[in-house]
Amino acid sequence: MSLPTLLSQHIVRRPQRIALLQHIAEQGSITRAAKSAGLSYKAAWDAIDELNNLAQKPLVERSVGGKGGGGAKLSSEGERVLRLYQKLQALQAQVLEAAEDASDLDLLGRLMLRTSARNQLHGKVVAIDNQGHNDRIRLELAEGLTIDAQITHDSTLRLELETGTEVVALIKAGWLDLLGIEDDATPGHNCLAGIIEEILDAENGPSEVRVGLPNGQTLCALAEPLHLKTLGLAADKPVRVQFAPSNILLGTPL
């Protein structure tokens, strides 16, 4: 599958975010593209992170220090997805005409996956290890990066998981722990190395930390400012992100 089914569902369900690709191609800047698309700068980057994580390869490439808040351009994969979106726009009118009743479209909308989890990573099942009532599912992400998820055996059967099944791993930002490079990870946890791309401070509560992984995907974690200061973590600094396999939810296309 050259484009994950869940990404194609996202194109239909969240057209404004896909349309952002067109604005990036035209503007060459996240700030200007967000303004053209009617999004905030943060919402634009949230959209880009989500799209990059769901696609086989990053759709948007960022260049630090560009005009208007940093330059950005579409990757070759992003250009391909944009062409697909433009084709879907042309087909949309035909779909609306074919619907016998407005409730048909409402039904389709309810069947599409929507989630509050900030981190949505596209992957493929490469191994399933039965551990009694639970199964440990090894997922291969983009560029060969792997993580383990733990779900019940009943869930494995219900989702019809087997080697080669494409899934989306859902991880809430609050379930991620940030570690210094020399800190020991918790045994049995997933631990991924990355670079802090950006830290968004909040007036009250934890800061939002965007971590770029070496495969081009992005994780969003929450951390208290004092914790970040204690670990010496800041933008452009290396960091490790750990999370328990049991804190990964798996989703598959219907």
Tens of pLDDT, residue by residue over 33-60, are 988 888 888 888 888 888 888 877 888 8
The pLDDT of residue 191 is 97
Together in a domain, 88 and 204: no
Domain that holds residue 148: 116-254
Domain count, the chain: 2
Q: Is the pLDDT of residue 5 over 50?
A: no
Q: Is the pLDDT of residue 6 over 60?
A: no
The pLDDT of residue 97 is 60
Together in a domain, 164 and 105: no
Together in a domain, 122 and 41: no
Count the Cβ atoms, other than its own, within 10 Å of residue 41: 16
Domain boundary among 59, 85, 111: 111
Average the pLDDT over each of 59-63, 113-117, 129-133, 163-167 and give the range with the smallest value: 113-117
pTM of the model: 0.67
121 and 127 Cβ atoms separated by less than 8 Å: no
Domain boundary among 111, 143, 165: 111
Together in a domain, 158 and 92: no
pLDDT, tens digit, 9 for 90 and up, residues 55-112: 778 888 876 654 445 578 899 888 888 887 777 666 655 655 655 555 555 554 444 4
Together in a domain, 22 and 135: no
The pLDDT of residue 111 is 45
